[in-house]
Amino acid sequence: MNRTASAFLLVAVLTGLLVALSFALRIKGYGFGTLGIERLDGLANAASFIPLAALYAFAAMLVTILPIRAAAVVHANGTTPVYSTALVLLATIVGVQVARFAFGNNSALWTLIDWQFIFAAGIIVAHLSLDTLRRNVLLRTLAFIGFTIATLACLYWTFRF
């Protein structure tokens, strides 16, 4: 948990500094300041967490059902990179929006209220509790069923209300 929070904060601060630099360049009249903001802003949006959640749920489903050695390989090479990607994308979005807010865009923080960020939070919570879910046979079975449902829902449900 401590490692997750420190990685999230570091990426958010670094992204915020890059956006602040881009804003400063744009204020000074350099056109490439706008290009930097557009690139960081276009890097991630809330909708990108749905396919990431499907990938993570599939890998986590395999971790819960495979024997210990195979589960360790899938955990190290499957769930952890997808978790790290989701964490970095979320921190990037937060860093960009906080920097926009700091430079006078009062509605920038409303972007963080998007319901699709639930998928990012789900990836983070599932990763932090995956070890606990694998210890007990009942929890392992329930986690397998839950991750299967999550994988299928993220892949084949439109999530449009």
85 is in which domain, residue-wise?
Answer: 2-156
Helix (H, G, I), strand (E, B) or coil at 30: coil
- What dihedral angle (degrees, nearest 10) is formed by the CA atoms of 89, 90, 92, 96? 140
Q: Contact 65/17 with Cβ under 8 angstroms?
A: no
Would 125 be classed as within a structural domain? yes
Q: Average pLDDT of the chain?
A: 91
For the stretch 15-73, pLDDT in tens is: 999 999 999 998 888 888 888 888 888 887 888 899 999 999 999 999 999 999 999 99
Q: Contact 16/99 with Cβ under 8 angstroms?
A: yes
Q: Contact 150/49 with Cβ under 8 angstroms?
A: no
Helix (H, G, I), strand (E, B) or coil at 104: coil
Number of domains in the chain: 1
Q: Check: pTM over 0.95? Answer yes or no.
A: no
Would 161 be classed as within a structural domain? no
Concatenated DSSP letters of 44-96: --GGGHHHHHHHHHHHHHHHHHS-HHHHHHHIIIIIHHHHHHHHHHHHHHHHH
Would 124 be classed as within a structural domain? yes
Burial class from Cβ neighbours inside 10 Å (0-12, 13-18, 19+) for residue 93 reads buried
pLDDT of residue 42: 82
Distance CA 76, CA 82 (A): 10
pLDDT of residue 155: 92
Would 24 be classed as within a structural domain? yes
- Asked whether residue 145 carries a pLDDT value surpassing 90, the answer given is yes
Residue with tokens 């970095």: 88
- Asked whether residue 114 carries a pLDDT value surpassing 80, the answer given is yes
The amino acid at residue 133 is L
Would 73 be classed as within a structural domain? yes
Local structure of residue 136 (DSSP, 8 states): S
Give me the mean pLDDT over the 134-140 stretch. 89
Distance CA 112, CA 69 (A): 39
- Asked whether residue 161 carries a pLDDT value surpassing 80, the answer given is no
Would 57 be classed as within a structural domain? yes
- Asked whether residue 106 carries a pLDDT value surpassing 70, the answer given is yes
Would 17 be classed as within a structural domain? yes
Give me the mean pLDDT over the 120-146 stretch. 92
